[in-house]
């Protein structure tokens, strides 16, 4: 009696239940290839999303720059207008005061009072300028909102790019696993022939 029969071993070895066949490894390799393809597709979608977000951020920044330029122009215009109004009002009052000091008459006193009254009446345009500055503050608030939204878009784009890199790395890992399964399947097939 030979040694295998003496030990109750079967003459032909059978694979244990946990053994993975070459066909199973091929199926695993196909699944890994499909997973890699899906991850590549996800990476492309994340790249496209990042590009759209970058474009949206650029548009918002351009719009914000336009509003900022307009706001600065309005501030400069309001400042110039206020300066002219104050300078003109003060010049008239000072001229009337100098005339009254020089003449000291009742007529010169009335002229000074009228000049001061007109100067006070010109505060209306200054109030209008203050309202204009309030509108400018609103514009600058819009600018801040758009810049904040642009920053959010850029952060989201960076996140999309990070996801893309992760998906590409995972796809490369999946391809490596598929290759390993195929190599193991080839090894298993060569063992089956022996």
Give the three-state DSSP class for 64.
helix
Report the C-alpha gap between 87 and 102 in whole angstroms. Answer: 22
Q: Provide the 10 A C-beta neighbour count for residue 190.
A: 10
pLDDT level of residue 1 (50, 70, 90 thresholds): very low
Residue 114 confidence (pLDDT) above 80: yes
43 touches 164 (CB < 8 A): yes
Rg (CA), the chain: 42
Q: Is 10 left (phi over 0), alpha (psi -120 to 50) or beta?
A: beta
- pLDDT tens for 69-103 read 888 888 888 888 888 888 888 898 999 999 989 99
User: How far is the CA of 41 from the CAs of 20, 31, 153, 167, 171, in angstroms?
Assistant: 30, 15, 22, 9, 10
pTM higher than the cut 0.85: no
pLDDT at 5: 52
Give the three-state DSSP class for 54.
helix
pLDDT level of residue 163 (50, 70, 90 thresholds): confident
Q: What are residue 151's phi and psi, to 5 degrees?
A: -65, -40
pLDDT at 151: 81
Q: Provide the 10 A C-beta neighbour count for residue 128.
A: 13
78-109 per-residue burial string, b: 16 or more CB within 10 A, e: under 16: beeebeebeeebeebbeebeebbeeeeeeebe
Q: Provide the 10 A C-beta neighbour count for residue 61.
A: 18
pLDDT level of residue 193 (50, 70, 90 thresholds): low
- pLDDT tens for 24-80 read 878 888 888 888 888 888 888 888 888 888 888 888 888 888 888 888 888 888 888
DSSP 104: -
pLDDT level of residue 186 (50, 70, 90 thresholds): confident
Mean pLDDT (the chain) is 81
pLDDT at 152: 85
pLDDT level of residue 133 (50, 70, 90 thresholds): confident
Give the three-state DSSP class for 115.
helix
Report the C-alpha gap between 155 and 84 in whole angstroms. Answer: 46
């Amino acid at each position: 009696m030979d040694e295998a029969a003496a030990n109750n071993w079967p003459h032909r070895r059978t694979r244990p239940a946990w053994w993975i066949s070459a066909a199973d490894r091929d199926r695993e390799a196909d699944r890994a290839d499909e997973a890699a393809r899906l991850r590549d597709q996800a990476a492309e979608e994340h790249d496209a999303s990042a590009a759209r977000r970058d474009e949206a951020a650029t548009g918002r920044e351009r719009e914000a720059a336009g509003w900022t330029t307009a706001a600065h122009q309005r501030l400069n215009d309001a400042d110039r207008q206020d300066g002219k109004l104050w300078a003109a009002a003060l010049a008239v009052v000072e001229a009337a005061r100098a005339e009254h000091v020089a003449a000291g008459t009742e007529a010169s006193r009335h002229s000074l009072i009228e000049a001061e009254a007109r100067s006070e009446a010109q505060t209306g345009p200054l109030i209008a300028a203050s309202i204009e500055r309030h509108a400018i503050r609103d514009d600058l608030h819009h600018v801040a909102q758009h810049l904040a939204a642009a920053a959010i878009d850029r952060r989201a784009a960076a996140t999309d790019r990070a996801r893309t890199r992760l998906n590409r790395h995972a796809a490369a890992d999946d391809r490596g696993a598929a290759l390993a399964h195929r190599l193991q399947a080839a090894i298993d097939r060569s063992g089956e022939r022996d």
